Amino acid sequence: MTNIQGPGIFLAQFMGNTAPFNSLDTICKWAASLGFTGVQIPSWDARCIDLQKAAESKTYADEIRGIVESAGLKITELSTHLQGQLVAVNPAYDALFDGFAPENLRGNAKARTEWAIQQLKYAAKASSNLGLNAHATFSGALLWQTVYPWPQRPAGLVETGFTELANRWLPILNVFDENGVDLCYEIHPGEDLHDGVTYEMFLDKVNHHKRACLLYDPSHFVLQCLDYKAYIDHYHERIKMFHVKDAEFNPTGKQGVYGGYQSWMERAGRFRSLGDGQVDFKAIFSKLAQYNYTGWAVMEWECAIKHPETGAAEGAPFIKEHIIRVTDKTFDDFAGTGSDEAFNKKLLGI
């Protein structure tokens, strides 16, 4: 077994227009001051990184890594959550997701998809140039508006949707493979890959591609009432990234999983700062250690109540306290009597 790395922090929710949150250099120093040892970088934020340049210039990639390391940190992974979303967008969501694309591509779904696919390919090469072995993204969605089967889904619709989704992602997965990087899908509502069943459907369509891996985030499973502990038992071989994010689900006589169109503050299911929700992190860290997860534990903060800087300050020690220093011996070794093949045969009477 190997110790989980961390604590790391996903910078996306903390970037801003004022210091220290407005540059990679200063936000890394801020994160280090709180006790974090790694940063996950949102690749769409130009204040952090120029993704294309990092893909095309090893020198530039080394400069980015140098900025992070000068703060005493490591880059855990890059993220293309926004670009991944644009790899597959149903027309029902065109206007809502257009803001994820450059302004000159808005209103042009075909060009937007081509841009997103190229962004993912840049991410593969940039990750390689940075010495990373895993990458975070979303799958996008062609079928999400049909997640509840009313009106009745036409026969073959889901099959066609997943076939098309796989056709878009297979060339990307191959580029990640060429660069030795695992592409980790965050299983998330709003994506066609939103639970274990849909992930397996996708895996079948991409011929169980070895780079089609998982970003494990239990908060999304709390909100879906999915067994997030058993999920690890099912998919631990594919889990290559870990978002440490808390959540709570408190259904009432008025609302449940669907939330009644309410804001995050008023929903039955909502994300919380670490330690303020219902996720059993002791069990999660134990399971990941048991299955020899060797990646990072990265805090993602999305709480509707607590201030983000407070959540970050509390997050580093929370993760550090949950990382298990794994054992290198068996607890009952003191009582061992030793053995050899002849002794074993004698005990068996053979």
pLDDT at 220: 98
For 279-291, what is the mean pLDDT?
Answer: 98
* CATH number of the domain where residue 250 is located: 3.20.20.150
pLDDT at 327: 85
pLDDT of residue 331: 75
Name the token pair of 293. 């997860």
Number of domains composing the chain: 1
Quote the pLDDT of residue 11: 98
Q: What is the pLDDT of residue 1?
A: 82
| Average pLDDT in the chain | 97
pLDDT exceeds 90 at position 336: no
Across 199-235, b (16+ Cβ under 10 Å) vs e yields bebbbebbeebebbbbbbbbbbbbbbebebeebbeeb
Q: Is 244 helix (H, G, I), strand (E, B) or coil?
A: strand
Q: What is the mean pLDDT of residues 58-76?
A: 98
Rounded (10°) angle between helices 58-70 and 109-129: 70
Tokens matching residue 197: 């069943």
Q: Mean pLDDT, to the nearest integer, of 196-224?
A: 98
pLDDT in tens, 48-66: 999 999 999 999 999 999 9
Looking at residue 333, its pLDDT comes to 75
Instruction: Give the pLDDT score at 129.
Output: 98
Whether residue 236 has pLDDT greater than 90? yes
Nearest to 244 by CA among 40, 29, 33, 91: 40
Domain ranges, residue 302? 5-348
Please determine, for residue 251, whether its predicted confidence score (pLDDT) is greater than 80: yes
What pLDDT score was predicted for residue 158? 98
- What is the pTM (predicted TM-score) of this model? 0.96
